[in-house]
Chains A and B, each alone.
Chain A
Amino acid sequence: MSEIQRICCFLVFVGLTSVVSAQSLLDDLNAAFEDPSLPVTATFKDTRIVNVQSNETPAEGVLHFVIAHRFGTLSSGAYDLWGLDNAQMRMAFDYGVTEGFALGVARNTYQKTYEANVKVKLLRQISGPEAFPLSLTWYSVAMANGTRAPSEDTPYPFSRRLSYVHQAVLARKMNEKWSLAVVPSFVHRNFVSESGDAHDLYLLGVGGRYKLRPRLSVNAEYHHFLTQSFGDAFSPSLSLGVDIETGGHVFQLHVTNARGMFERSFLAEPAGSWANGDVYFGFNLSRVFTIQS
């Protein structure tokens, strides 16, 4: 090897080592440790998008308390202060038994309806090297109408008061702002007032949220009847809402054409027409209490 070759070799060697050391320790650290795969959280701010369930459940040991209000139609005019005189209420308690498994009870002013529900996260969206694209959450609710029998001689057994809804919530947090959900629903009513009405209904819902700011999002949902058309008396359920988050509260403001706040009502009986202004203003306030940490 000539002197010049040696010098060249030396220079190449020095060049290579300086390239290696130019890489920072932080780059080295990033190369040494793979980013972890983590479940995606906060796809929606609350356990509901507007009316329909989101993929979220209360965290383990957390009691989620919701007071929801639904006022009369905006089209009822100034005399009823655009519906504010006719408030319906729903009071709900949902408890996170474990992470991804919640049980709940609720009572509605509308038709004095009681609810018992169960919600389970079956699949979770995961980000990172072992990513999974979406979450799947199951929701089942039994509802019981608590109104008195229309008259004393009309039989109104308990079984007639019952209805059930089962839903699969497929949700994906697209990015930090957008979250989307597809919600197929099955509604079963033990008793229908019109003889032509179906006991079983199938619907396909879509919902989403867009985060305007870290603590403010706009939400929307729509449910399409798959099995039955109701003519002019029914419009598909369409709702728009805003979620505002403060410390331990989420405030939800919305307009919807559904009168009731429980599944059978807002899925199977949305009567209001958006075109005629037969829509209701609603207001939910939710609060979480950590029972067990």
Chain B
Amino acid sequence: MYIPKKPILLLLSTAFFLAAHAQTFMTREGHAHFFSSTSIENIEADNQQLSGLLDASTGDFAFQVQMRSFHFEKALMEEHFNESYVESEKYPKASFQGSIESWESVKPNGESFDVVAIGDFDIHGIAKTYRIEGRMKYDNSIWHLNADFEVTLADHNIQIPPVVRDNISPVIAIDVDAQMMPR
């Protein structure tokens, strides 16, 4: 029986391409870090339990962190963060949901692409539209991504009392990175 080779190759390569682009990728141990810098003190916290989903057919994504999973150098900072600033009991999670701009131009070819993620960033119960620049790379069946951005506390009604105004920056620098595996 005659089997046409070219169409099969085309089909296979398309299938590979689709595998990278046509499935959902997931992480549960992404990393989020934030940094507040003032002349008096620097405050930072790490969260190793960033969870996320990426729909590689559309470039849609959703990321989420538990506020209680941010860990600080000092126990009292962590308590104040949860009790007084982000009010973790009322607003236990922060999330970012949206899509990657011009997703079709982000190729799963091992190269790193500068991307722009547009979506709703929700923290302390207040969602705002954010445009976040980051980098993405598809390598060995894994989407690698990282980004950094800034959050103005007042935008999300996170209030800093006057007595610690010199210790906490009104704008917090955030950086995230994650490796997303096929789901």
Contact = CB atoms under 8 A, between A and B. Distances in A.
Given A29-B64, A33-B51, A41-B79, A290 B95 contact: no
Interface stretch (B6-14, B53-61, B109-117, B148-156): B53-61
A245 interface: yes
A36 B66 contact: yes
Contacts of B89: 175-176
B137 to A, nearest CB: 21
B75 interface: yes
A246 B164 contact: yes
Given A25-B60, A26-B97, A176-B90, A42 B79 contact: yes
A2 interface: no
Interface residues on B, range: 20 to 34
A136 to B, nearest CB: 20
B41 to A, nearest CB: 10
By DSSP majority rule, is chain B's interface helix, strand, loop, or mixed? mixed
A290 B26 contact: no
By DSSP majority rule, is chain A's interface helix, strand, loop, or mixed? loop
Contacts of B68: 36, 38
A28 B53 CA distance: 8
Contact of B76 (A30, A33, A38, A248): A248
B51 to A, nearest CB: 5
Interface string A118-134: 00000000000000000
Interface in B46-80: 51-53, 55, 60-64, 66, 68-69, 73-76, 79-80
A155 interface: no
Interface residues of A, number: 27
A59 interface: yes
A206 B28 CA distance: 43
Interface in B83-136: 83-85, 87, 89-90, 92, 95, 97
Interface string A57-76: 00110100000000000000
Given A41-B82, A59-B75, A30 B64 contact: yes
Interface in B25-49: 26, 28
Interface in A6-53: 24-26, 28-30, 32-33, 35-36, 38, 41-42
Nearest to B97: A26
Given A26-B64, A176-B90, A247-B167, A214 B84 contact: yes
Interface of A: 24-26, 28-30, 32-33, 35-36, 38, 41-42, 59-60, 62, 175-176, 214-215, 245-248, 288, 290, 293
Given A176-B87, A246-B161, 17 more contacts: A25-B61, A25-B97, A26-B62, A29-B51, A29-B52, A29-B63, A32-B26, A32-B53, A33-B28, A33-B51, A41-B82, A42-B79, A176-B89, A215-B161, A247-B163, A290-B75, A293-B74
Interface of B: 26, 28, 51-53, 55, 60-64, 66, 68-69, 73-76, 79-80, 82-85, 87, 89-90, 92, 95, 97, 161, 163-164, 167
